[in-house]
């Protein structure tokens, strides 16, 4: 049974989110090459920098934490301790529109510094995608698309949820490539909490 997108029942809303995410994952799976390219960039990076605005940025912070657990050197753009990016580094970005000014500027700066860029976006022909070495296109509504055609969820909800899933999938693939056990990763968790 397809959930009613206008229902006020939380269970219907949960099923709607599930169904939309499932459809997005199926569409992403049809282009496994893009995911593989992004994974390869991250695996080969000297350091990984993540950058997104709003909820997309929060989703990428989750990815940054997991990549750190893997043993990669990871920085969140905008943190006070984030160093300059340079050759051998990768900037992992997320912008539904691919036009978010600060993210596009950061990608331009990364390219000028000799770093590579991986982009997660809904817009394959956006300025961000044009700068990127690897582009993962998420079939979701952009933040300002309120038509309900691509997603019944509010604003960029489906895109941001997909960013979380993609981050976890990239982490999982890289973890399995690394040959490390869960016990190997565990000591990298914060002991200050």
Is the residue at 186 inside a domain?
no
Is the residue at 151 inside a domain?
yes
Is the residue at 192 inside a domain?
no
Is the residue at 137 inside a domain?
yes
Is the residue at 3 inside a domain?
no
Structural domain span for residue 149: 10-180
Q: Is the pLDDT of residue 146 over 70?
A: no
DSSP string, 5-49: TT---HHHHHHHHHHHHHHHHHHHHTTHHHHHHHHHHHHH-SSEE
Q: Residue 120 is part of a domain; what is its CATH number?
A: 3.40.50.10490
Q: Is the pLDDT of residue 166 over 70?
A: yes
Q: Say how many domains are in the chain.
A: 1
Q: Is the pLDDT of residue 145 over 70?
A: no
Q: Is 37 among the catalytic positions?
A: no
Is the residue at 189 inside a domain?
no
Average pLDDT of the chain to the nearest whole number: 93
Query: What pLDDT is stored for residue 191 in this prediction?
Result: 86
Q: Is the pLDDT of residue 140 over 90?
A: no
- Spot the catalytic one: 37, 108, 130, 160: 160
Q: For 51-106, how does the pLDDT look when each residue is reduced to its tens digit (9 = 90+)?
A: 999 999 999 999 999 999 999 999 999 999 999 999 999 999 999 999 999 999 99
Is the residue at 105 inside a domain?
yes
């Amino acid at each position: 049974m397809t959930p009613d997108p206008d229902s006020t029942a939380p269970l219907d809303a949960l099923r709607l989110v599930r169904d939309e995410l499932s459809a997005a994952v199926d569409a992403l799976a049809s282009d496994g090459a893009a995911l593989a390219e992004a994974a390869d960039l991250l695996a080969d990076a000297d350091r990984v920098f993540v950058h997104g605005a709003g909820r997309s940025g929060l989703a990428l912070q989750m990815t940054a934490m997991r990549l750190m657990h893997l043993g990669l050197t990871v920085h969140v753009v905008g943190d006070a301790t984030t160093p300059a990016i340079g050759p051998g580094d990768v900037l992992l970005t997320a912008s539904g529109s691919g036009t978010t000014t600060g993210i596009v500027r950061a990608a331009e700066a990364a390219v000028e510094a000799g770093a590579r860029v991986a982009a997660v976006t809904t817009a394959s022909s956006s300025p961000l995608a044009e700068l990127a070495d690897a582009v993962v296109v998420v079939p979701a509504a952009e933040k300002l698309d309120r038509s309900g055609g691509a997603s019944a969820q509010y604003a960029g909800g489906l895109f941001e949820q997909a960013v979380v899933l993609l981050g976890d999938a990239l982490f999982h693939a890289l973890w399995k490539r690394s040959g490390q056990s869960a016990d190997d990763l565990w000591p990298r968790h914060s002991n200050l909490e």
